[in-house]
C-alpha cells in the first residue's frame, strides 16, 4: 500500500498517477470496494481488456487521468470519481508535473 506523507500544513495523503496497465491496477481485486467503488469499475476496467490510467490515493483508486502532448507541453486532465481534498489533488498534480519534467515539457491542467 501507499503510505501517507506529512507536510507542515497537515496530513497529505500519498497520491499517485498510475499509468495505463500499471501492475497495481491490473492485479487489484475487482470486487473489493475499498480499492475501487463498484460504480467506477467501468471507468478503470474498460472494454477489450483496456485499463485506464488511475489516480490512487493511499492505495484506493479515486479517479482516472489522461494527458495529451501539445507542442512543448502536456495537457493533463484529472477525472476524480468524487471530490478530492485539496492536498490529495495537489499531490496528484505534483505526480503529473513530474511526468512533464521527465519529458522536458510544461504541464498544463484542465478540468474534467
Tens digit of each residue's pLDDT (9 = 90 or more) over 9-27? 446 568 889 999 999 999 9
Q: Is the pLDDT of residue 5 over 70?
A: no
Distance CA 30, CA 40 (A): 11
Q: State how far Cα 45 lies from the chain centre.
A: 14
In the chain the domains, ranked by start, together with CATH numbers, are 5-110 (3.40.630)
Indicate the burial class of 6 (C-beta count within 10 angstroms; 0-12, 13-18, 19 or more).
Answer: exposed
What's the whole-model pTM score?
0.82
Tens digit of each residue's pLDDT (9 = 90 or more) over 55-72? 999 889 999 999 999 999
Amino acid at each position: 500500500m501507499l503510505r501517507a506523507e506529512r507536510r507542515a500544513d497537515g496530513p497529505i495523503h500519498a497520491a499517485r498517477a498510475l499509468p495505463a496497465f500499471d501492475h497495481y491496477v491490473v492485479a487489484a481485486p475487482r470486487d473489493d470496494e475499498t480499492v475501487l467503488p463498484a460504480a467506477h469499475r467501468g471507468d478503470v476496467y474498460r472494454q477489450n481488456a483496456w485499463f485506464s490510467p488511475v489516480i490512487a490515493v493511499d492505495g484506493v483508486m479515486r479517479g482516472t487521468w489522461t494527458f495529451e502532448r501539445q507542442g512543448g507541453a502536456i495537457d493533463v486532465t484529472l477525472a476524480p470519481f468524487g471530490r478530492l481534498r485539496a492536498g490529495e489533488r495537489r499531490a496528484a498534480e505534483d505526480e503529473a508535473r513530474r511526468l512533464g519534467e521527465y519529458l522536458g515539457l510544461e504541464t498544463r491542467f484542465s478540468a474534467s
